[in-house]
Amino acid sequence: MSSGKTPGDAEPRRVLVTGASRGIGRGIATRLARDGFDVALNFHRSKAAAEEAAEAIGALGRHAALLGFDVADRSACADAIASDVEANGTYWGAVLNAGVTRDGPFPGMSEEAWDSVLRTNLDGFYNVLRPLIMPMVRARRGGRIVTISSAAGIVGNRGQVNYSASKAGLIGATRSLAQELAKRQITVNCVAPGWIETDMLGGADADALAGAVPLKRLGTPDDVAGAVSFLFSEDGSYVTGQVLSVNGGLF
């Protein structure tokens, strides 16, 4: 299903992955590199981890560029993306994976906890895609955009009103943008993971969570990466405006 380069392409297809230094983002970036894409790896604080990811991608024979910026910072996004496009070429696709949690009961939730989650998880959609889309359109090569939402954005979750709101908003934005870009042959889809074995689980009881999943295991970053790989492939070229749940059968 790899589609990193086709005979009509003048250059390898490049993909931006946000939050790519570890966890789900790193798994996605590595999988897309295996599929033949060059990858721009966004990171915020974990530069050493991002460098490790870039080295691993280089070992696969693909080019990896490092982009250090906070997706919640609008001007930083615009500057970093413009500079990378000028240096390395237009993106053919993007995966919006960067996200944060600040969990707690809603009555006691601070303004900062609400704002920080919405600014990263939802505003990041605008901040990253706004400077990225028109170069994709002008390139006239089609493309792929995948956002990473969450099961919490579909069914909600106690203690995560801010996170659920941001991820539900991401689904609405994804579906609307898919309609706008369809005529450009740029598909826009969403992957909504359930419980995935990453640092974001924090101190949660992994065994208890796995027991609540019909498949009786937690998901892995590779499970999510496989779904993204499909959406970036030729086999996924007629899929747009959809939400693909990767949750082991939770609902």
- Catalytic, 163? Answer yes
Quickly tell me which residue has 């295991």 as its tokens: 217
> Residue 53 in contact with residue 30, Cβ under 8 Å?
yes
Q: With left for phi above 0 and alpha for psi between -120 and 50, is residue 218 left, alpha or beta?
A: beta
CA atoms within 13 A on the CB side of 124: 30
**3 state SS for 110-174:** CHHHHHHHHHHHCHHHHHHHHHHHHHHHHHCCCEEEEEECCCHHHHCCCCCHHHHHHHHHHHHHH
CB 206 within 8 A of CB 164: no
Provide the CB-side half-sphere exposure for 224 (13 A, CA).
31
Exactly one of 91, 126, 163, 238 is catalytic; name it.
163
The tally of CA atoms less than 13 A away on the side-chain side of residue 96 is 31
Asked whether the beta carbons of 40 and 128 are under 8 A apart, the reply is no
Return the biggest CA–CA distance within the chain: 57
Q: Which residues are part of the catalytic machinery? A: 163
